[in-house]
Amino acid sequence: MIHCRALTFRTVFSHVSAHKLDYFKWDELTRPEQLNEQCDSGAKLAIYNVDPDEALAAQPFPLEPICVYVNQGKEKMTSDTGERIRFHCHYALAKEIFARHDILSPAAFAQVDWPNVNIALHGVPRCFQLWACKQVHNIAGTNRRLHRQGQRSSPLCPSCLEVSETCAHVLMCEEENRVQCFQMSANNLESWLKSVGTCDLLEEYIMTFVRSRNSKSFKECIGGTRDPLALKLARSQDRIGWRRFMEGMISKEFCRIQETQRRLGRTHVSGAKWAQSLSVKLLEMTHGQWLVR
C-alpha cells in the first residue's frame, strides 16, 4: 500500500486507531482494527528477527522518519520523542521513589493510569501541582510537620483537636465541618460523573468507594457482582488504595471501561479525557479538605 498512487482503482483513506488490543479483546475489534493489529505485529516481528550483528543496507523509511521503541519495546514513537522519553524516565524514577517512601509498592504503582494522570497534572496550575506533590509525599504543612520544625505549639489537628494532624488525617478528619465539606464535594463529583455520561455502574462504584472514606475496599463497593471487568477494576484499585485514589491515582481499568461507554455511543467524552478529569476532580476534593482547616 506504500505505492498506492499506482493503483488502477480509486482509494478512500480513513483513520484506524492503533493499539486497541491494549484495551479490548480480539473479537471486540472491528475488522479494520484487527487488520491494523496484524500489520503492526508483523512489522514488529520483522524488526525483532533482524540480527543486530548483520550489516544491513540503510533504507529510508517511506512513512516514518524515525522509529524509537520504549517501555521494553511495547511502545513505538515516530514523531517528537522528547516528551515520551521524559515520561518513561520519570516513570522509572517515580516508581523507585514511591516504593522507597512506602507510597506505593511497585505492583500498585503499575496499576495506576499514569499516562492520563500525568496529562491531568500538567493541565493544572503550578501551585496546585506543588501542593499535590507535597500531599502525596507527606511533606505538606500539617501541624505535625510544622510542630516538628518549631513553627506550631501543638501537632494536633486544628479541627478535631484529638489526633496529630498528618496528610492522611486531613482526608479523614471526623470534625463536623470537615465531614460536611467532604459530603458536598462528593455530591459535586457525582453531578460531574452524571454530566459526562459515566457508565451507571461505574458511577455507583466510584461514589460508594469515595463516600466510604477508607472504610470499605473497592471490592466491597461493587457488591457481589461477577462481572469480570468490575472484578479486575476492584483488584487493581484496591492495590492502589483509597487515599491514593483521592490523590488522583486512579486505576488504568477506569479508562478502559469508560472508553467502552464511548464506543457504544453513550457519551462523546473519550475514556482518556474522562480519566484525566476524574483524577483532577479527586485531587480537588482532597484540596478542599485543606481549605476548611
pLDDT of residue 85: 81
pLDDT of residue 64: 47
Question: CA-to-CA distance for 218 and 233, rounded, in angstroms?
Answer: 8
pLDDT of residue 6: 66
Answer for the pair 93, 82: CB distance below 8 angstroms, yes or no. no
The total of other beta-carbon atoms located within 10 Å of residue 92's CB is: 11
What is the chain's percent helix, strand, coil content, to nearest 5? 55, 5, 40
pLDDT of residue 267: 93
**Geometric angle at alpha carbon 112, from 196 and 137, rounded to 5°:** 110
pLDDT of residue 42: 87
Answer for the pair 239, 107: CB distance below 8 angstroms, yes or no. yes
Question: What single-letter amino acid sits at 238?
Answer: D
- Nearest Cα neighbor of 276 from 130, 131, 118 is 118
Answer for the pair 209, 242: CB distance below 8 angstroms, yes or no. yes
pLDDT of residue 194: 97
* Coil vs helix vs strand at 211: helix
Cell 498512487 belongs to residue: 5
Digit-by-digit pLDDT tens for the chain (293 residues) are 445 556 677 777 788 888 888 888 899 889 988 998 998 888 888 877 877 666 555 555 454 445 566 666 666 655 556 787 889 899 999 999 999 999 999 999 999 999 999 999 999 999 999 999 999 999 999 999 999 999 999 999 999 999 999 999 999 999 999 999 999 999 999 999 999 999 999 999 999 999 999 999 999 999 989 999 999 999 999 999 999 999 999 999 999 999 999 999 999 999 999 999 999 999 999 999 999 98
pTM, entire model? 0.74
223 is written with which cell numbers?
457488591
Question: CA-to-CA distance for 269 and 200, rounded, in angstroms?
Answer: 15
